[in-house]
Structure formats: structure tokens, C-alpha cells
Structure 1
Amino acid sequence: MDADSLRLLAANHLVVEGLELDQVLRHIVDAAVSLIDAEYGALGVIAPDGHLERFIHVGISDEVAAKIGHLPEGRGILGAVIDSDAAIRLDDLGADSRSIGFPAHHPPMGAFLGVPIRTRNETYGNLYLTKRAGDSFTAEDEELVTGLAATAAIAIDNARLYEESVRAHRVSTALSEVTATLLAPDAGDAFGVVAERIAALVGADLVTIVVPGSSAAEYRIETARGVGAAAIEGSILPGNDWLVARAIAGGQVVSAENSADAPWLGDQFTDGSTVAVPFVVSGSPVGALCITRGSHSDAFSAIELATIAEFAAQAGLAVALAWARADRQRLDVIADRSRIARDLHDHVIQRLFGTGLGLQALAGSAPAHAAALDRHVAEIDTAIADIRTAIFALQNSAAESVRHRLLDVVTELTPSLRRPPRISFAGPVDLIASGALANDVVAVVREALANVARHAHADTAVVFVAATEKELTVTVDDDGVGVAASSVRASGTANMAARASAHGGAFVLEPRAGGGTRAIWQVPLASTAKEQR
């Protein structure tokens, strides 16, 4: 075997050593330089639009490369190799009419050899080799590098297949984690889980999920994870936002061309890169998944864009499954509550009602114990009213109903009180109290019970919420130390008064005749109805 064949064999062996694509590309350039004793070498990877998206060079130090600045884009002689898709060999690079010269700090180069690397039916890139002035490449050199390029094509193809298998495994692992997390009993925010996993998968600095806002003229950043997330989560974006609108409407990955395409990211990502992909759940786009990298990171590659698109599609299925599971659980809870409500109505209330009638009859036959029996009957009537309140709450189980929110407040403040407060309702409270009025009712009850816990030293507290055609009234009674008529209104009661005034109503804090304090918060419903319109 002659010396050229031995050198080619050694070069081929070096090329096929690794599986990581970056490592393989570096080995190809090193092998080509060594094979024909070139002084400088480079491998340019051709992007779909024909320019060089990557440029791996050998022979120029990092310090000199930094001084040169921007890497070649595929013009001049380099572009001629791309356009011709054939080998080009020159004795004097600078003398060729297609040469565009060298940038400042670039070392002088004389002889030039460019050879394409073809993988399957496409040209993946080109090998560029040069020598100093006075030296030249021979036809044998061209044949050796062409043979090396054939081996390099196989090595690149294998590396790309390996890279794809690694990518598919990482996507599969990330999606498995998303599904497992969303289907866990204590699953958290579905969008938050998706954002955190895609950020880790592609190395993003910031991930946001943008959804349509309350009107067609706006979007809302529903979820944000990463650098500066707290500052933008919940922000409202204009409905004509270029990046988000195109992603949702186009059904494919969209890349921001510059920072003006995503102004809501702020100054910290001015020179970064952002892509957006529609986030589809149950067949309909619910928003856009936006992934951002800062200027310190590389732009998203074609493989990473494919990864983002695949992840978004599969994560949408996982979210749909999690939402369907939550809906099923919610229906199960509603069915269970309905059963409990029927049992309370059909059995418990009837027994209490019968017991009350029996006590009333006993009071008539035993006048000496009538007063005590009447008190017990009154307690039974109160218990029946409380159970009816519970039945109504169980049968009207919307998670955000005023009744449920008030019951949650009572549960929340019970540890602060000596005894659990009693709460009852009259009238269509849930139908009447909605929006801002509902928020104020909840806030008033919370503040009133908090005042009882802090100041009243009461054994019992009773909350009564009543809705009629004309007004809504919240009454909170306690049997504590009472309130002085001349006492200065504290900030809490001042807030309750302000809330009532905002609806055209009034708030009164007064002593009870039997001891303790009564807080009455009352608003007219006509004023509230106008406000809600």
C-alpha cells in the first residue's frame, strides 16, 4: 500500500471515531489538513437558504479569529464552491476574479482547494483547505480529499442519526415527566409544568405561554418561567402582537426576526432569539408557547426547532388528558355531593324535624320544662337551617360560588376563634353576588371575622348573608366585649365602609342589645346591577 493510501486510511479512521456531530466535524477538518499537509482548513455547513450556518476552522488561533470577527457567510470563492457543487482548486486564491479579499487581521493564503461533502442526495457542506503563497495543491491532493469527503459524508450521516436518536430520547423523557407530573394526585399548574420542561429540554432562558385575553384586541402572558418571569407573568399584550398572532394562526414554528417582534420581552433579550409555536389542546390552539434565549446563547438550530414543535404537540395531548381527568374528578365530586345532599334532606332533616315536633309536644304536656324545651327546639331549628345551607352549597357546587368562597373563609378563620363560626344564607345569594360585588362580600366577611378574633374575645360568631330583590345584607354578630360608641374606626372597618360606599350602600358597627357587637354591611342591588352592566 502506497503512502497516499496509508494517509487516507489514517484520515478515514480519525473521521469515523466519534458519534457527536460537533466532534465528527472537527475530526474531518483535522484529518483533511493532515492528509494533504495544508496550513489552514475549514468545514462550512450549508444552511437551507444556501449560506454557511456553521464554520469550523483549523490553523487560525482563537485570538486571531476574535480579531477577524464575523465568520465567513459563503461569499466569494467559498460561495463559488457552494454554487458549483464541485471541487475547485486554485494556485493563487487572491488572483481569482471571484475572490472578495480578506478582512483585517486575516492571515495571508495562497493555494486553495474546496471539495463538497455530499450526504445521500444533498450537499451537507464543503471542505476548504489553503496553503501559504508559493505552495500549491496537486490533482492527487484533490483526489485524496474527495475520497476523504466520501467517508466524511458517511460519518456525518451516522452522527446526525445518532443526534436524532438522542433528541428523540430527550423529548420522550421530557414528555414522560410532563405526563407523570400532570396526572399525579397533587398536580400543579399544567402550563407551568410544560414551560419548565421545555426550558430544560432546549436550554432556554425564558419560556412564556401566551393565551388570548378577555377581548380579541389583547393577549395575556398566562405563564412565564425563567429570567425575568415574575415581571411579565400576567401582562397584557396587544392583539396585533406579530409573533404570537402568527404562531397561533399559522399552526407552525415562527421565529422572531428581531427584538421588535417581541417587545414584551424587555431590554434583557434585545439581541437574543425567540421562537413561538402554537400550543394546541384537544384540537384547538389555546395559546402560543414562546421560547427565548439571550444573546450569550446560539440561535435555535433546525433540530431544536423540530424538537420544540414536537414537544408542543405532544405536551398538548398530555395537558388535554390532565384536563379531562380533572373534569372527570370534578363530576365525581359533584355526584358525591348530590348524594350527600339527598341523604341530608331525606333523612337527617326529617329526623331533626320529627325530634323538634316531639319536643314541642312534650313542652305542652310539661309546662315546668317548657322554656328549656323551647330553647332546644330553637337549636334544632337553627341546625336545620345550617343543614339546608350546606345542602344548597353541595347542590350548587361551582368552585367560585360566593357560598363556597364564604365557607372557605369560615374554615380559614376557625382556628383563630374559640368556636367555629356559624354561617347561613337566605335568598339567591349566588345569583345576585358576582364579580366585584362577590369579591367585596368575601372580603367583608373575612375582615369582620378577623376583627372578632382579634378584638372581641367572643365565644361565638354568627354570619348571615341575605339577598332580596332590593338589597344584599351581610350581618356578623358576636357575643364578645362589644364596641364603644365613641371608638375610632380602625382601618379594617373603614375598608368595609368604603366597599359598601362603592356600591351605594352603608356599613354600621354597633353594640348588640344582649352584649357583643353587630356589623351590618348592606348594599342596594339596583346600584350594583348598573355597575355590573
Structure 2
Amino acid sequence: MTPDQGAGLPVLLEAVLGVGSEPELRTTLQHLVDSAADICGARYAALGVVDPERIRLTGLYTAGMSEAERAAILGLPDGRSGLIGTLISDPRPLMPDDLAKDPRAPGFPPGHPPVHSFLGVPIRVHTEVFGYLYLTEKRVGGPFLPEDLALVRVLASQAGIAIGNARLYETARRRERWIEGAAAVTTALLAGRPAADALMCVAERARLLADAAAGVILQPTPEGGMEIVAASTHGDPGDLVGTTIAPGSAVLEQLLGGEPVFIEDSSTDPRMTTPVRERFGPSMMLPLQSGGQLIGTLALPRARGGRPYDAVDRLLASQFASQAALALVLADAQHDREQLAVYEDRDRIARDLHDLVVQRLFATEMMLESTKKRSAAAASGDTVGEELARAVDELDSTIQEVRTAIFALQQPPTDAPATFRGRVLRETRGAAVLLGFAPSVHFAGAVDALIPDPVAKDLLAALRGALAAAHRRAEVTSIEVEVDAAPDRVRLTVTDDGRTRRGTRGTTLTWDAAL
């Protein structure tokens, strides 16, 4: 052991202890590069992180450079040429005597400080090359010595172990965040959020977890493309919602087939055809599917020039997408069950009203009607008859109102059609449940364009009353509903073939309204 080595050992031991004590990967890497510069007395030191999938640099940590010197460097080393490229392609220690005479000297990015002496070693994590550590410009002048190389190799070896531990710690923390995020999304969706809010919840949570510029949900369109239906961004996402991927796109074929798509740079990838692609860089597009059912796609683009997604990012985001898709399916099924429970409860109420309340009212009306006839010959018959007639009319009106309420209970509580034509058809379908047959409906004229909402509400109320009255009549087997709209008026006609109290068959009720 030389005197220089003996002097450097305490510094090395302190550096190894410092590197191994940091759980955060970024802090570990910065501490490593600072320690290497101190041990060997180098003016500059740098640690480059290599992406094994892309064989290029994804990060650079430096020591000894001022903010002005760092700002003057234009980008990272290309990782393919010069000494840096040699360290990546052939990860063995390098210590040339003088860079000015070495043909491998080019490769530093423009703006890098001029260097002469150089020492570089690879950093391995198990069998994988994590990156490289290089030192330049020994402060005492002259080239680096073999003793310096020995110290740096020991530091790099210990750093590989510390980096491996830090990566495991960071991966565990990222996995924990994604699991917590998936659990939060599942809880929120099963709490009964509307469909639009549920999709927005997935997009928002995924954007935050992935540190993306946007979280986007796309769903298939009837034309065979895909449309953005929910978007979460740092600002206003209004220009994203409604953006479509046209049929025939190579990306679209993968997405509709339930395959994930990973994009290096959305702004330059020819597969990306949407007009908003210019603002984004790395992107993940993950299928939202459960049990073979494709709900849509979760897209997580980062800003242009943003950090690429690594293998851990892709794995965790794909697992989140699978969990979110399952939660969406379960939430939709729960919503259907709740709707079915509402319908069943309404049917029960309608049956109870029809079987108990209406029948008793009708029986009371018949008794009063009989009493009125028997009292017609009495001395006070005029007064009693009038009172009984009013009572009969009140009961008749009450029965009509209850029947109208019964028909209204047959209507779905949500997702009502917006057009007048659809609302009329909705009323007649609901009436068919009690009538035992579906009334026939005919429209004449542009009913949806001509009839304003206030008039539409009055006509629908009249239609409900007419259907309830028809149901009251005996032996009714058919009902015809006709809506005739003209530019200046609208007419609603309801005709049934039921038997009236007087024994005649067939009743026609007509309502006219000015437009």
C-alpha cells in the first residue's frame, strides 16, 4: 500500500458509509459523485445513469461545476461516441494519460469544460450496468494514478450495492403509492359516482401517480375510432376533451385490440395523429379492460422533453389500469343493481296503489252512486243527491289522480330522453306495464323542432291523464296516441276502445295548444 492510498482510505471509508446510509436514490447518487471527487482530488466529477433498454443516458449528476458552467452544457453526452460511449458499450475502467492525444476524446456535449486527465469506471448493480462514474482534471496536475483508480473502483463497487438497495426502496415506495391510488379509486367508484365523474377520478389519480402532464380516458366511437371523454391536466383540459383518433391508425388497432402502447416521443412518433400530440413527449396508453370487456384506454403523456417511462413505471401503471377497469365494471354493475331496486320498489308501490287504494275508492264510488239513485225519490232527495253527486265526482277525480301517479311510477327515474318524441314513447312504454299491451303512437310534423318545452310538459301531463282514464274503462284492448304538429299549433289525440259507464264503446280525447 502506497502512502497516497493509506491517506485516502479514511476518506474512502467515510464515503462508503455515507453512500450506504441514504435510502433515496437521487441523494445516494449525488453523494457518490461528491465523494469520488474528494477522494481523488478531481476538479470535476460526473455520474451518468444509463437506460439499459434504450442504451443511452437518462440522467447526469455532477460535482465541481458552478451553476453557470452547468447551464453552458447543452444536453447530455450522446452515449454513443468518445470515451463516454466506450464506457457504455465496453464497461471497463478507463484512465488515458492525456485526452488531447486520445482519439476517443470527442463525445462530450458542447459547453463541457476543457479536460485533459480522465478516469472512468462503470457502476454495476448485480450484473446490470447502472451507469458510469468519471473524474477529470486532477487538482495537483498530471494524470490520475493507479491508486486513484483502485480507490474509485472500491467506491463504485460499494456504490453498486447501495444503489441496488436504494432502487429497491424507491421501487417499493412507488409500488405502495400506486397500490394506495388504486385502492382510493376503487373506494371512490364504488361510492356511487356518476359515470363521467368515475372516469375523471381514474384520469386524475393516474396523472398524479405517474407524474404525467395529463391523464386522459378514451372510449370507442360508433365510427370505429376513439374519443377523449375525460381529461385531467395542470390547467384547463377543455381542448383535449372531444379529440378523436380516426379509424385506421396503427395505434388505434392496438388499443381496440386491448394492447398497451408505449411512445418515446408523442410529438415525433408517426403513429400519433391527434392534433394535441405536439405538446407531449413520452406517453403510455393502457387498455381499461376486465373480463374481456374493453371499457376504454388510459393515456398518460408527459410533457415534451420529460423523463421517459421505465419498466417499473409501465408495470405499475398497467396494474393500476387493470384494477381501475375492474372497479369501473363493478361500479357500473352496482349502479344497475341500484336502478333495478328502484324499479322494483316503484312497481311494488304501483301494485299496492292499484290493488288496494284504487279498488277501495272505486268500490266506495259505486256505493255512493247506488245511494244517490235510491235517494232520488226521497223528500230531501235534491239536496242529498247534489251532495252525493259531488262526492262521486271527487272520488272520480281522486281515482284519476292516483292512476296518473301509478303510470308515473312506471317511468325510469334517470336517463330520460330529451326530445318530445322520446318522452311520449317513454310514457306509452310505461303505460304498457299496467295495460298489458303497448299503445300505438303516431307522429305528424316536426314535433321535436316545433313544440317548446312548456307546451311539451302540458301535453305530457294530459297524455298521462288520458292513459290513466283509458285504463279505468272496462274491456279496453287498444289505445291510439297521435301527435300532430304544425307551425302554429299542436294537437294531441288519445283514442281507446274501452266501454264507458253508459255502455258505449270507444272514447276520444283531444288537446289543442297554440305554438
* Fold equivalence (TM over 0.5): yes
The code of the aligned residue for 2:47 comes to L
Distance 1:253 1:138, change over 3 A: same
For 1:433 and 1:39, how far apart are their aligned partners in 2?
Answer: 90
Distance 1:19 1:351 in 2: 79
Q: How does 1:159-308 map to 2 (within 5 A)?
A: 159-184=166-191, 189-216=197-224, 218-226=225-233, 227-249=235-257, 251-255=259-263, 257-259=265-267, 261-264=271-274, 266=276, 270-295=279-304, 297-308=306-317
Whichever residue aligns with residue 231 of structure 1, its letter is D
Taking the aligned partners of 2:184 and 2:442, their CA distance within structure 1 comes to: 41
In structure 2, distance between residues paired with 1:389 and 1:322: 34
Q: Equivalent residue for 1:23?
A: 27
Q: Report whether the alignment pairs 1:33 with 2:37.
A: yes
Residue of structure 1 in register with 2:59 after alignment: 54
Q: Distance in 2 between the 1:31 and 1:280 partners? A: 49
Aligned residue in 2 for 1:100: 106
- Once the two structures are superposed, what CA deviation does each residue of 1:231-262 show, in whole Å capped at 9, x if it has no partner? 33244442234545433425224226332654
Check if 1:352 corresponds to 2:367: no
User: Structure 1 residues 189-198 or 301-310, which shifts more?
Assistant: 301-310
Unpaired runs of at least 5, structure 2: 377-381, 425-429, 468-477, 492-510
Alignment partner of 1:322 is 2:315: no
Q: What is the CA-CA distance between 1:155 and the residue it aligns to?
A: 1.0
The two structures have a TM-score, normalised by structure 2, of 0.77
Alpha-carbon offset, residue 22 of structure 1: 0.9
| SS in structure 2 of the partner of residue 463 of structure 1 | helix
Q: Which runs of 5+ in 1 are unaligned?
A: 410-423, 453-460, 475-499, 510-517, 523-533
Contact kept, 8 Å, 2:439 with 2:479, in 1: the verdict is no
Partners of 2:213 and 2:73 lie apart in 1 by 29
2:124–2:131 CA contact under 8 A, matched in 1: yes
Structure 1 contact 402–429 (Cα < 8 Å) conserved: no
Contact preservation (8 Å) 2:78, 2:107: no
Question: 1:90, CA displacement in angstroms?
Answer: 0.8
Match of 1:10 in 2: 14
Alpha carbons 1:53, 1:73 under 8 Å: kept = no
- State the Cα distance separating 1:429 from its structure 2 match: 8.3
The verdict on how the C-alpha distance between 1:310 and 1:186 changes in structure 2, with shifts beyond 3 A counting, is closer
Of residues 116, 122, 125 in structure 1, which corresponds to 2:122?
A: 116
Letter of the 1:275 counterpart: M
Query: Is 1:150 aligned to residue 157 of structure 2?
Result: yes
> Structure 1, residues 120-142: CA drift from partner, whole Å, max 9, x if none?
22111111112269521222211
- Aligned counterpart, 2:348: 339
CA contact (8 A) 2:255 2:261 kept: yes
Q: 1:67 aligns with which of 64, 68, 72?
A: 72
Provide the secondary structure at the position in 1 that maps to 2:17: helix
**Cα deviation digits, residues 369-428 of structure 1 (max 9, x gap):** 44554454344344434433443444454743569999999xxxxxxxxxxxxxx97998
Instruction: Assess, with a 3 A threshold, how the Cα gap between structure 1 residues 32 and 519 changes in structure 2: closer, same or farther.
Output: farther
Which SS does the other structure have where 2:238 is aligned?
helix
SS at match of 1:56: strand
For residue 360 of structure 1, report the CA deviation from its aligned partner: 1.5
State the distance in 2 between where 1:346 and 1:387 align. Answer: 12
Question: In the aligned structure 1, how far is the partner of 2:363 from the partner of 2:326?
Answer: 55
Aligned equivalents of 1:408, 1:377: Cα separation in 2: 33
Instruction: Please list, as runs of the form range in 1=range in 2, the aligned pairs for 1:477-516 lying within 5 A after superposition.
Output: 500=485, 507-508=489-490
* Partner Cα distance (1:438, 1:299) in 2: 56
Deviations, residues 75-112 of structure 1 (Å, cap 9, x unaligned): 22111111112112211224223332545432111122
Separation in 2, partners of 1:430, 1:207: 48
Letter in 2 for 1:26: Q
The structure number with the bigger radius of gyration is 2
Instruction: Provide the rounded CA distance (Å) in 2 between the counterparts of 1:51 and 1:119.
Output: 17
Following superposition, the deviation at residue 206 of structure 1 comes to 2.1
- Separation (CA, whole Å) in 2 of partners of 1:381 and 1:119: 89
In structure 2, distance between residues paired with 1:274 and 1:197: 16
Query: Do the aligned partners of residues 402 and 356 (structure 1) sit closer, same or farther apart at CA in structure 2, a change above 3 Å counting?
Result: farther
- The worse-fitting range, judged by mean Cα deviation, of 106-115 and 395-404 is 395-404
| Identical positions, percent | 33
Q: Is the 8 A contact 1:403 1:430 kept in 2?
A: no
Q: Which amino acid aligns with 1:110?
A: H
Q: Is the 8 A contact 2:441 2:480 kept in 1?
A: no
